[in-house]
Chains A and B, each alone.
Chain A
Amino acid sequence: MVSASEWRRFLAPNLLELPRKPRVVDIIARPFIDHLGEEELLVYVVLDDRAPESDLTWNRLRPIYDRIHARVRTLDDPPYPYVEFRRRSELEE
C-alpha cells in the first residue's frame, strides 16, 4: 500500500504542470475507504487563500483535476482519486 507521504511526493504540484491560476499551494493525498467500502485515494488540492471565487469555478479547476487523474492513471491498477478543492483556511476549519 502506498503511504500518504509517497502519494504526496508522487502528486507534488511542480510535477503536474498546473495552470498558473488558481495557485495551488499544496496537494495532500491519502488512502481512504470510500462510500462504497473500497480503498481509494482522497486528494485535497490546497488553493491560495487569496484566490478570488471567480478563479474557483469548475471550468477553472478542471485542468487541475484532469492532471491529477492523468498522473494517477500512469500507475498500474491505481486507486480512484476523489479530488476536492479547498482554500488553505477552509482546510484548517
Chain B
Amino acid sequence: MTATPTRSRPLYAQLLDQAQLLATLEPRRPLQASVRRSISASYYAVFHFLVGEAARLQAGRGRGSAAHRELLIRCFKHGEMAEVAKAFQRGWSRLPPSVQRLAPDAALHQDVLGMADAFLDLQRQRHVADYDSTTRVLRRSAEACAKRAATAIANWPSDVREPSARAYLACLLCWQRVAAR
C-alpha cells in the first residue's frame, strides 16, 4: 500500500491509503479529526468498491458502458446496502426465494460474509465518527477499520462467477423491492 494517494489508482484504493495515512498522521497524540476522518475513509473505500463492482455486474466492464456504470453508481443507498449486509449475514437459506434462485444450491462464500460484517461494522463506526461528538474515537479503532476495509476488499471473490458474490452485488441496488415481495 502506497503512503500517498495517486490519481491512477481506483477511488477505493486511494481512500484505503488515506484511511491508513490519517490513522497514523500524528505519531503521539492523534487528533480526533484525523482518526474520525480515517474511519470515514475506510467506510467509503468499501462503499465505493462495492458500488463499483455492482455497477460493473449490471452494466458491464468495458469503456462503452462507463456512462451506464456512472449512472448506476449514483443510485445506491447506504441504508439499503446495510440491509443487504444484514440479510446475507443471516445465512443463504434465509434470503428471499427470488435471491436464492439466482444460485440454486449455492452456499454463502466465507468472504462474502466477511464483507457483509465489515460493511455493517464500518458503517456504524463511520456514523459514530461523523455524528457522535460525545464519544472519544481511538486511534486503535481507526487502524482496525482501515485494516478491516482493506482485508474485506482484498478477499472479495475475484471470480466474477462466484454465485453468492454475484447475488450480493445484484441485491445492493434493488433490495427494498426484493425484500418486500
Residues of A at the B interface (CB closer than 8 Å) are: 34-36, 38, 53, 56-59, 61, 69, 77, 80, 82-85, 90, 93
Contacts of B89 in A (CB 8 A): 80
Q: Is the CB of A53 within 8 A of B140?
A: yes
Contacts of A83 in B (CB 8 A): 121
Q: Is the CB of A57 within 8 A of B147?
A: yes
Q: Is the CB of B124 within 8 A of A34?
A: yes
Contacts of A93 in B (CB 8 A): 136
Q: How many residues of B contact A (CB 8 A)?
A: 22
Contacts of B82 in A (CB 8 A): 36
Contacts of A58 in B (CB 8 A): 143-144, 147-148, 151
Residues of B at the A interface (CB closer than 8 Å) are: 79, 82-83, 86, 89-90, 117, 120-121, 123-124, 127-128, 136, 138, 140-141, 143-144, 147-148, 151
Contacts of A53 in B (CB 8 A): 140
Seed contacts A35-B127, A85-B144; 11 additional CB < 8 Å A-B pairs: A53-B140, A57-B140, A57-B143, A58-B143, A58-B144, A58-B151, A59-B147, A69-B117, A80-B86, A82-B121, A90-B138
In the complex, A76 Cα to B97 Cα: how many Å? Answer: 19
Contacts of B127 in A (CB 8 A): 35
In the complex, A87 Cα to B79 Cα: how many Å? Answer: 31
Option from B79, B90, B117, B138 in Cβ contact (under 8 Å) with A36: B79
Q: Is the CB of A56 within 8 A of B120?
A: no
A-B pairs, 8 with minimum CB distance: A58-B144, A58-B147, A35-B127, A35-B124, A56-B140, A82-B124, A36-B82, A80-B86
Contacts of B123 in A (CB 8 A): 35
In the complex, A57 Cα to B23 Cα: how many Å? Answer: 13
How far apart are B107's CB and chain A's nearest CB, in angstroms? 15
12 contacts between A and B (CB under 8 A): A35-B124, A36-B79, A38-B86, A57-B140, A58-B151, A69-B117, A80-B86, A82-B120, A82-B124, A84-B141, A85-B144, A93-B136
